[in-house]
């Protein structure tokens, strides 16, 4: 019913869009949005894609405010003597944020939807200013965060960060280098908790060390140059992710931890019996489970935090509630302590349709997670009634539905032979009609082409690589396939295997319940490939089974988004087979790479070997420019060899459909939509406010 | 009689144990375990779990043990009244289910009452006035209820509720009451939200009940005792309600066995669509996440409820129908 409705309105909507194309030309686009504009000139979405903008940090101490203001709800507590005055709560060196449009007003409750305790990302993307370093609103420049400054030694082996003097946890306890040392010595180095060193804290397979120089200086040391580590500290990584993304749901990383609170749950500070007894009393099987539960900031309302809001109603109840952190270290340019908004209430939606319907009904003030691209027409139809605006934030990654080819496949030697053949892969890519996919599944908003990230990203090898081997050219594809020897066809025009075992069938494996309708996309590609005589079989699998097959090296081609590839070094797994956790491009190769050749299997393709070697060499390069240059070369190799086949990307499919109440102020017209920018956190949600 | 009861009770315990073994095996059948599903969830949100970490987590949860040891460990805990930790929730299973159990029961009982209130009178009416216009209309409506999948009805009603009446979408409470402590106002808020799910859940069951009631009653209406009673000059209402209807109610007693598990689980799909905070969606999520403790406990609970329900309905039948009682004796 709802689906029918959507398809009707979509048609009407496209008609309107055609009429409005004149108006679109007048709308301003930021330089970084140029590619989106280019592809979407007559497109519905382009009217909804604004200028990339956001709040900025004031880095010059001379311009910092001298007097401070606070929320009325905190002023009352101060008056009642329950809280120290605001000057005592803010660090001597606060993070000064210049709000996007204006100084805000205090108050209000931000209403959102979430899907249960597994949806932690929904909250941690809002409170992620507890990261050591962060990015500016464009997602390209590294900014101070918890650390007001950082320094890399000339040889690239020592990275020192400086904390803010007078910074406090949400319970008022000082936040110092000791919290880092505690995490390193008692959590990270404790093999019961963290069984092995984490790759994010290693260089070329050798672990790094953490020490304190003084109360406000933390030093990360490596046996070999690791210039990339600053990016890692700023990225959404195990070392730089901060408490919000790294200390929930059994996770143990994050580089610091509230030592004064967590100590009571560790055997070292009392005894094994004592902590086990505490755990059992709380219903847990042992101290480790209990400790992990106690530092889970979503579930435990008592654990001190550093973000703008902290949990007051746990995420395992029907409402995940957050409330302002009275000791938050951010202020606006007039010295008002952030955040402006008092509370965040996320209501549980048992399924995504209900969540979207609630968003349509205007029951959420700001929601960009789980709101689906396919619902855009319905969102627009109801925006006056629900008193909200719709904004689209296209992502930077090149392909939301990437055909990830298994370069270690060997179960069927005939298929393996072709999958490992460059011309065969190029032909498959040329056989895909990307514009039709874009029209059908992306409402025409996406950009068709190869896997490379947006041209606005410094990792992009340039626009000509978007089209390379990635246009629709069945003629050339057929020529390529004929040339490599796939000339025999059956009665229906499908090419035959060369071992005489009938038709050549390629399996496209998809996962059920993805953000993007990969299975339906695969079905359409199957139709496209008919024209080049290739028979595809679509196999939709339950998500666990999908990954089990990949782990077992059983898949031929798996379809998945290549999100994260826009920051290649921080999240390479969707661009190269380097990460055994998710090795869509060949598990044995990823094992081989991660173990430095001790396990798994080396790639047979010399070009792949070259790409992996270049990738490994990047960390020791001193400047970002050198590293970008290597990344661009890697992307060229990937595209030229079609190691993975891109379709359509740079779309708002993942977390890019933003429903914004008209009551809210300081909302950017467009946000950078990327994993490393913790969207919407790089827009500093602490500066959002209710105008009325 | 006592021997019979003891035997039944013993069998009930055995059945429950068998159910628990089956439940455990079935839940364990899909590939992977909770940790695989955890890793899949982590990687879809862009996080890293190393193979060693995964192994450590498996050890922490005892998932590296053979299946029968895992089962025995779990059973040992259950027998001591400890149902384990709901892995995704980080809270004891008993608490997670308990939170939702009361609401589930309220919704389900509401649905059952709705079904009975609608179906029984209509069933009696359409038997007594067989082939009348009223019979046809009632039967027609009942069959429509049976034919439309409840989740579809839920979607349609929710859509019209939103477009025509601007009603709240899904859930059992308004925003302001969701987390508030229990009060009269909150109970009233629940009462206001209850009719829609109760109607949707109950509607599907009415046709079946109408037909059963109608058929049973038709069987009885032609019997000599009815003719005799009528000949004796009993008023029609009294005659029908007092004798044939009572006999026709027998099948209801025997279906109580199936009602009990329904009361504690609710309908999974409808609850999902309407976003009701009941046990149903919890079971689905637990199965997807392969949370053995949570899913196992819910399935076990359902099994035990079926066993208890069947046991109760046997007792009830013996009590209301002397024929069964006497047969048992012979």
Q: Tens digits of per-residue pLDDT, A55-65?
A: 999 999 999 99
Range A338-363 average pLDDT? 92
Q: Which residues of A touch B92 (CB under 8 A)?
A: 283
Query: Do B137 and B270 share a domain, yes or no?
Result: yes
Parallel/antiparallel/unpaired status of strands A330-332 and A95-98: parallel
| Cα torsion angle, A314, A316, A321, A324, sign | positive
Element housing A211 (H / E): strand A209-214
Closest approach of B228 to chain A, Cα-based (Å):
55
Domain boundary among B68, B97, B126: B97
CA distance B107 to B173: 12
- Residues with Cβ within 8 Å of A476's Cβ and at least 6 positions away in sequence, in order, are A427, A430
Contact (Cβ atoms closer than 8 angstroms) between residue B239 and residue B230: yes
Chain B interface includes A581 (CB < 8 A): yes
Q: How far apart, in Å, are the Cα atoms of A176 and each of A215, A308, B82?
A: 6, 18, 41
- Tokens 């700001």 belong to A366
For residue B262, tell me if it sits in a domain. yes
Cα A566 from chain centroid (whole Å): 10
Among B90, B99, B271, select the one facing A299 at the smallest CB separation.
B90
Q: Let me know whether B104 and B219 are in one domain.
A: yes
Looking at residue B44, what is its pLDDT? 66
DSSP conformation letters of B86-111? ETTTTEEHHHHHHHHHHHHHHHHHHH
For B146, other C-beta atoms within 10 Å of its C-beta total 16
Q: How far is CA B318 from the centre of its chain?
A: 24
Say whether pLDDT at A5 is over 70.
no
Say how many domains are in chain B.
2
CATH number at residue B278: 1.10.3720.10
Pick B158's closest partner by Cβ from A196, A357, A548.
Answer: A357
Nearest-CB residue to B91 (from A316, A321, A544): A316
Judge if B58 and B131 occupy the same domain: no
Contact A654, A518 (CB under 8 A): no
- Which chain A residues are Cβ-neighbours of B158 within 8 angstroms? 354, 357
- Smallest Cβ distance to A545: which of B31, B158, B274? B31
Whether B283 and B269 map to the same domain: the answer is yes
Q: Which of residues 7-36 of B touch A (CB under 8 A)?
A: 30-32, 36
Residue B167 lies in a domain: yes
pLDDT tens-digit map of A354-379: 899 899 989 999 999 999 898 999 99
**CA pair distance A163, A501, nearest whole angstrom:** 66
Omega cis (within 30) before A680: yes
- Mean pLDDT across chain A, nearest whole number? 91
Distances A16 to A23, A69, A276, A374, A391 between C-alpha atoms, Å: 11, 48, 65, 17, 18
Q: Mark whether B115 and B87 lie in a shared domain.
A: no
- B255's tokens: 């279906």
Residue A32 has what DSSP assignment? G
Say whether pLDDT at A630 is over 90.
Answer: yes
pLDDT attached to residue B251:
73
The HSE-up count of residue B177 (CA atoms within 13 Å, CB side) is 17
Single out the residue of B196, B188, B205, B200 nearest to residue B167, CA to CA. Answer: B196
Q: Report helix, strand or coil for B155.
A: helix
**Beta A557-560 vs A505-511: how paired, if at all?**
parallel
Quick one: B276 and B146 in the same domain?
A: yes
Q: Which of B97, B127, B146 is the last residue of a domain?
A: B97
Name the most confidently modeled range: A286-290, A645-649, B227-231.
A645-649
Where is the domain boundary, B81, B97, B113? Answer: B97
Query: Which token pair is A514?
Result: 């993805």
Q: Residue B150's domain spans which residues? A: 99-289+313-329
Task: Give the separation between CA A94 and CA A105, rounded to whole angstroms.
Answer: 20
A293 to chain B: which residues are within 8 Å by CB? 90
Tell me: do B90 and B171 sit in the same domain.
Answer: no
A91: closest CA of chain B, how far (Å): 31
With beta carbons less than 8 A apart as the criterion, state whether B197 and B270 touch: yes
Element (H, E) at A521: helix A518-530
Count how many residues are written for chain A. Answer: 692
Tell whether ipTM is more than 0.85: no
B270 shares a domain with B122: yes
Q: Are residues B242 and B166 both part of a single domain?
A: yes
pLDDT > 50? residue A11: no
Residue A24 has pLDDT above 80, yes or no: no
Q: CB neighbours (10 Å) of residue B14?
A: 11
HSE toward the beta carbon, residue B215, CA cutoff 13 A:
9
Q: Does A32 have pLDDT greater than 50?
A: no
**Helices B250-265, B195-221: inter-axial angle, 10-degree rounding:** 160
Measured between CB atoms, does B162 come within 8 Å of chain A? yes
Nearest to B120, CA basis, from B200, B212, B223: B212
Q: Which residues pair with A217 in a beta bridge?
A: A162, A214
pLDDT value, residue A611: 97
Q: How many CB atoms lie within 10 A of CB A410?
A: 15
Is B318 domain-assigned?
Answer: yes
Q: What Cα–Cα distance (Å) separates residue A430 from each residue in A427, A446, A536, B76, B319?
A: 5, 18, 15, 60, 76
Q: What's the rounded Cα separation, in Å, for the pair B172 and B184?
A: 15
Over chain B (330 residues), the average pLDDT of each successive run of 10 is 81 89 84 81 68 82 87 88 86 88 88 88 90 89 84 85 74 75 84 85 82 89 90 88 84 75 79 86 87 89 87 80 63
CA separation for the pair A213, A235 (Å, rounded): 24
Contacts of B261 (CB under 8 A, 6+ apart): B302, B303, B305, B306, B309
């Amino acid at each position: 019913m709802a689906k029918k409705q959507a398809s009707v309105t979509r048609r009407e909507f496209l008609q309107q869009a055609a009429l409005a194309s004149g108006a679109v030309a007048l709308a301003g686009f930021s330089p970084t949005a140029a590619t989106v504009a280019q592809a979407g000139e007559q497109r519905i979405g382009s009217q909804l894609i604004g200028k990339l903008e956001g709040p900025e940090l004031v880095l010059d101490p001379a311009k910092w405010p001298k007097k401070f203001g606070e929320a009325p709800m905190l002023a009352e507590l101060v008056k009642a003597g329950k809280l120290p005055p605001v000057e005592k709560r803010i660090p001597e060196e606060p993070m000064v944020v210049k709000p996007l449009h204006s100084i805000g007003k205090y108050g209000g409750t931000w209403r959102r939807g979430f899907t249960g305790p597994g949806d932690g990302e929904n909250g941690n993307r809002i409170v992620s200013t507890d990261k050591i370093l962060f990015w500016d609103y464009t997602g390209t420049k590294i900014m101070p965060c918890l650390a007001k400054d950082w320094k890399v030694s000339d040889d690239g082996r020592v990275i020192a960060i400086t904390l803010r003097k007078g910074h406090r946890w949400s319970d008022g306890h000082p936040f110092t280098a000791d919290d880092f040392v505690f995490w390193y010595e008692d959590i990270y180095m404790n093999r019961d908790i963290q069984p092995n060193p984490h790759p994010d804290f290693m260089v070329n397979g050798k672990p790094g060390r953490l020490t304190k120089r003084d109360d406000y200086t933390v030093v990360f040391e490596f046996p070999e140059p690791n210039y990339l580590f600053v990016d890692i500290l700023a990225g959404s990584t195990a070392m730089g992710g901060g408490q919000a993304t790294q200390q929930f749901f059994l996770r143990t990383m994050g580089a610091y931890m509230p030592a004064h609170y967590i100590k009571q749950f560790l055997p070292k500070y009392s005894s094994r019996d004592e902590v086990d007894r505490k755990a059992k009393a709380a219903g847990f099987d042992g101290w480790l489970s209990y400790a992990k539960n106690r530092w889970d900031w979503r579930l435990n309302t008592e654990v001190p935090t550093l973000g703008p809001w902290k949990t007051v109603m746990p995420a395992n109840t029907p409402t995940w509630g957050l409330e302002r952190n009275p000791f938050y270290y951010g202020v606006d340019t007039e010295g008002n302590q952030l955040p402006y908004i008092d509370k965040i209430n996320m209501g549980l939606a048992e399924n995504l349709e209900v969540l979207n319907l609630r968003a349509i009904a205007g029951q959420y003030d700001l929601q960009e997670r789980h709101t689906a691209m396919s619902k855009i027409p319905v969102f627009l139809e109801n925006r006056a009634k629900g008193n909200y605006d719709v904004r689209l934030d296209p992502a930077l990654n090149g392909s939301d539905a990437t055909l990830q080819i298994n370069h270690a496949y060997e179960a069927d030697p005939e298929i393996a032979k072709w999958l490992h053949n460059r011309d065969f892969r190029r032909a498959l890519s040329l056989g895909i009609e990307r514009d039709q996919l874009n029209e059908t599944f992306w409402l025409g908003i996406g950009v068709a082409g190869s896997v490379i990230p947006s041209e606005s990203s410094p990792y992009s090898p340039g626009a000509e690589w978007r089209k390379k081997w990635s246009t629709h050219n069945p003629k050339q594809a057929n020529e390529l396939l004929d040339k490599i020897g796939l000339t025999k066809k059956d009665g229906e025009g499908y090419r035959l295997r060369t071992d005489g075992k009938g038709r050549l069938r390629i399996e496209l494996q998809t996962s059920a319940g993805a953000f993007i309708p990969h299975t339906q996309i695969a079905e359409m590609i199957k139709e496209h490939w008919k024209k080049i005589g290739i028979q595809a079989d679509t196999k939709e699998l339950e998500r666990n089974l999908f990954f089990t097959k990949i782990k077992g090296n059983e898949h031929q081609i798996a379809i998945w988004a290549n999100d994260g590839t826009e920051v290649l070094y921080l999240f390479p797994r969707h661009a190269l087979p380097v990460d055994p956790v998710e090795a869509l491009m060949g598990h044995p190769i990823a094992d081989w790479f991660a173990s430095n050749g001790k396990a798994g299997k080396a790639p047979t393709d010399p070009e792949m070997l070259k790409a992996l070697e270049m990738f490994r060499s990047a960390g020791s390069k001193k400047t970002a420019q050198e590293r970008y240059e290597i990344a661009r070369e890697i992307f060229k190799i990937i595209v030229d060899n079609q190691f993975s086949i891109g379709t359509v990307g740079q779309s708002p499919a993942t977390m890019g459909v933003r429903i914004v109440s008209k009551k809210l102020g300081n909302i950017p017209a467009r946000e950078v939509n990327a994993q490393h920018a913790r969207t919407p956190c790089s827009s500093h949600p602490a500066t959002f406010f209710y105008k009325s | 009689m006592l021997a019979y009861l003891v035997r039944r009770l013993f069998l009930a315990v055995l059945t429950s144990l068998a159910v628990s073994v089956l439940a455990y095996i079935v839940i364990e059948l899909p590939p992977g375990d909770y940790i695989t599903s955890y890793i899949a969830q982590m990687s879809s949100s862009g996080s890293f779990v190393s193979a060693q970490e995964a192994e450590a987590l498996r050890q922490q949860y005892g998932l590296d043990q053979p299946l029968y040891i895992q089962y025995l460990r779990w059973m040992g805990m259950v027998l001591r009244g400890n149902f384990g930790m709901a892995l995704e929730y980080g809270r004891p299973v008993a608490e997670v289910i308990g939170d939702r159990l009361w609401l589930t029961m309220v919704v389900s009982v509401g649905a059952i009452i709705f079904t009975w209130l609608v179906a029984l009178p209509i069933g009696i009416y359409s038997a007594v006035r067989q082939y009348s216009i009223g019979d046809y209309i009632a039967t027609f409506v009942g069959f429509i209820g049976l034919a439309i999948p409840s989740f579809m009805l839920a979607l349609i009603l929710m859509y019209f509720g939103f477009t025509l009446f601007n009603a709240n979408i899904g859930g059992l409470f308004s925003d302001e009451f969701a987390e508030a402590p229990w009060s009269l106002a909150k109970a009233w808020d629940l009462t206001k939200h209850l009719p829609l799910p109760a109607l949707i859940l109950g509607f599907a069951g009415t046709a079946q009940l109408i037909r059963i009631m109608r058929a049973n009653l038709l069987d009885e209406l032609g019997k000599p005792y009815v003719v005799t009673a009528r000949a004796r000059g009993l008023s029609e209402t009294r005659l029908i309600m007092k004798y044939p209807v009572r006999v026709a109610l027998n099948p209801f007693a025997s279906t109580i066995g199936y009602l009990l598990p329904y009361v504690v689980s609710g309908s999974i799909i409808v609850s999902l669509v309407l976003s009701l905070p009941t046990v149903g969606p919890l079971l689905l999520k637990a199965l997807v996440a392969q949370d053995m403790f949570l899913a196992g406990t819910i399935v076990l609970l359902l099994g035990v409820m079926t066993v208890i329900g069947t046991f109760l309905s046997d007792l009830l039948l013996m009590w209301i129908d002397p024929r069964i009682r006497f047969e048992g004796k012979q």
